[in-house]
Structure 1
């Protein structure tokens, strides 16, 4: 079941028959079926974004992968249209009541940039996410997981504990905050800000986003006086030594993007994946009997119940033909990851959870982390955290079980996101 919440975007639902809006109830409550039906209508289907902008939904695996690696599609509307003023991003910020001064921290985020600026910023932080760095970080991730799981019974009420609140969130936010350099006393507030940032509620976002930006500026001022070996200190050194490579706004947006993206999606991968395993006892038993299967299992869970169901909008910088549909210059496309990851043209029996589906040599046969130039920078870290989370949870509590019926699990109805409101468990 899902929670319902008022949204300023609900007014657009149903305005254009035959052009589904991403806020349609059928797409929010059961995106696997809803977007699956659109996928079977065609690889490219006309739809509507939050603010009623006409978009092209790209629904099938091959076409989604094609656009993700196609340089003719840009993240910035300005690159396609010549201006960003009349864009969904600009309208969303206006509808959400975001003060004008703070809007640049979204429009100039690494997530909204294209080459060469995107390449430059990605290069500045990619050293923190190399395979060696992630491998070296694993013992610390395991220590954090062990500590959280050991204390998990302290949070139980009537024998039930919320894994989302007391494990799935604290694990990734602790890891990314330590990596970036966010003080421990600030991390609880970051979690609050993160939930408000995705709420699509103007009364929450208009206050929380400016507070978050102001906090990062203050943190930079404090850290500049006492540099350490964290990523924030490295960014400050880069800015101060060669300001041409990193502006003040870019430094703030990098911190914002890394911390926010570094815990929100991973928390819901862990909670979604745990719920999936506990409702598929055959797969859970398989994983318990063969722990070496874990990396492949994480990829399958990312395909089957990953937390991100669509990418942000991309814009055609020239006329492009996609599977026989002409995408005109300046038009927006919405890549639907959930329908691509369940495309029967690419997967045999895609609705079945199969932890052995992906061969070890080709485990990432999905688009849960994206693809191409905007592939998730923190994918390796997210996979590692998920591997540790599932493995440690089953080691600490081998008899863990859901405390409610599967159909009683509450979902938060956010477009493009698949997330639980809580995950009540009995530890055994």
Structure 2
């Protein structure tokens, strides 16, 4: 008998605004559930901590959509081929090529520049007295950082951001496909320019791999890599900054504690990632062969999504998981995933978060919400968890 499903789309705006009570209810009934959404149809949802870790490391679950039942094409929205869409050994090869360029040294060298950008953005915000923190700070900071790291010209950044927003609006499929094609063309031209005239940036370094006879990146792989690094490098960091700031403002005792003791900052960032991580649910995995997970039988070709946000609030792993506490031992959360697909950019995201929070809190002592928290709108995405806006006043 087929398992009954929970219609997540029917839960409405309350689920978008705060999905955690729903995940807690589902988790109390079992670790793995059959669910449905209008956009994706029926699939399996993993909400338990141990089951999430197991799913993220089980080789019978593939990241390659060609293992999905009924797959025919990508609808025109795919840009190249990247690490998120591949399995070993291809994934291993691609990750190795990026990892040898995305080094700790290269990331650490960005620290002074990240601080400078953060200060410039605060300089622009403070005289206004109030601002939307997403638009004025949380988004432009990581966008500037990742574009400088990759070598995207300043004049092209807004266009790229607009294309990305359109390409992920699946309520308008024709516009989404057109934006994806525009991004593909832009990135292809940019990569070609880096091959002709390399500079001291990550795209130039990767472009050199396209000429490596022994272990070269194909054009499709290079396109996919450039797109993944750009998108994953800024929207998730923006969500961390805005959601983390919101959590602090909603918990003034934690805000006061952090301002009084900056040695808590590193752990505070981990608690923000655990409490309201920037990625709510993984991209789909596809069952390569029938398997059991959490007491459920998953058939070949079925889709599986792992709720990182639910696993990071699992009571079997974290005591009082719905309590925001910057002093708790928060490591072990799954905000950056787990296993071979653990986020390669996690060190950069953590650095940007730490710089952003300290800069904001030190330079804006009167920082406060400038709206009723109930009026804030979260992005209606099962995958990414972020605020549309965060109105603040500077006192």
TM-score, structure 1 as length reference? 0.86
CA change 1:53–1:413 in 2 (3 A) is: closer
Instruction: State yes or no: 1:371 paired with 2:338.
Output: yes
Q: 1:213 aligns with which of 184, 196, 200?
A: 184
Aligned residue in 1 for 2:219: 248
Aligned residue in 1 for 2:29: 41
Given that 1:43 and 1:323 are in contact with CA atoms closer than 8 Å, whether structure 2 keeps it comes out as yes
TM-score, structure 2 as length reference? 0.93
Aligned residue in 1 for 2:347: 380
Aligned residue in 2 for 1:3: none
- Pairing of 1:14-413 with structure 2 (within 5 A): 18-21=5-8, 24-25=11-12, 26-78=14-66, 81=67, 86-87=70-71, 93-94=74-75, 98=76, 103=78, 105=79, 108-153=81-126, 156=128, 159-201=129-171, 202-242=173-213, 245-358=216-329, 363-413=330-380
Q: Deviations over 1:216-255 (max 9, x none)?
A: 1111222222111211111221102338521011111111
2 CA distance for matches of 1:380 and 1:400?
Answer: 27
Given that 1:412 and 1:419 are in contact with CA atoms closer than 8 Å, whether structure 2 keeps it comes out as yes
Per the TM alignment, residue 131 of structure 1 is displaced from its structure 2 partner at its CA by 3.0
Greater displacement, 312-321 / 254-263: 312-321
CA change 1:50–1:237 in 2 (3 A) is: farther
Q: Deviations over 1:325-367 (max 9, x none)?
A: 2223332211111211111121111110000111xxxx52200
1 CA distance for matches of 2:141 and 2:175?
Answer: 25
1 CA distance for matches of 2:379 and 2:218?
Answer: 36
Greater displacement, 392-401 / 128-137: 128-137
1 CA distance for matches of 2:161 and 2:43?
Answer: 32
User: Please, what is the CA RMSD of the aligned residues?
Assistant: 2.1
> 1:240 is paired with a residue of what secondary structure?
coil
Per the TM alignment, residue 383 of structure 1 is displaced from its structure 2 partner at its CA by 0.7
Q: Deviations over 1:125-176 (max 9, x none)?
A: 113433333223212211111111112235x3xx321111111111101111
> 1:47 is paired with a residue of what secondary structure?
strand
2 CA distance for matches of 1:49 and 1:18?
Answer: 10
> 1:54 is paired with a residue of what secondary structure?
strand
Per the TM alignment, residue 203 of structure 1 is displaced from its structure 2 partner at its CA by 4.4
Q: Deviations over 1:353-393 (max 9, x none)?
A: 000111xxxx5220011000000110110011000000011
CA change 1:197–1:35 in 2 (3 A) is: farther
Given that 1:57 and 1:333 are in contact with CA atoms closer than 8 Å, whether structure 2 keeps it comes out as yes
Instruction: State yes or no: 1:417 paired with 2:384.
Output: yes
Unaligned stretches of 5+ in structure 2? Answer: none
